[in-house]
Amino acid sequence: MSLIARLILLLQERNQIKCTRCGLYHDKRYTQCPHCRDMDAARLQAFLEESGIDPEAKSGVGQFLVLAVVVVVVVFLLSRFIR
Ligand SMILES: [Zn+2]
């Protein structure tokens, strides 16, 4: 995924929470996930298998932020040593 696409995803996820049941993101205002609230367990399982979504998979945003911090630190250190 490109850097721009990750940034767009990060901005979109700011006002959203990840449903622990289906793994999709939905607006924080909803108390129940609009994607899976009407699905029973069997239908949810079929949906997850069809879509290939893993609800317990970690978001890539955390990894992206760690990478961004590492890049900033490396650039900072290089700028101090190259004079
Ligand atoms: Zn859901």
| Residue 59: pLDDT over 90 | no
Distance of CA 27 to the CA centre of its chain: 13
Distance 14 CA to ligand 1 centre (A): 17
Residue type, 19: C
Sort 26 into a burial class: Cβ within 10 Å, 0-12 / 13-18 / 19+: middle
Q: Tens digits of per-residue pLDDT, 9-50?
A: 777 777 888 899 999 989 999 999 999 999 999 999 999 999
**Is residue 61 very low, low, confident or very high in pLDDT (cuts 50, 70, 90)?**
low
Residue 52 alpha carbon to ligand 1 centre in Å: 14
Give residue 22 CA to ligand 1 midpoint distance, Å.
4
Write out the two tokens for 71.
Answer: 């890049």
Token pair, residue 40, equals: 């029973």
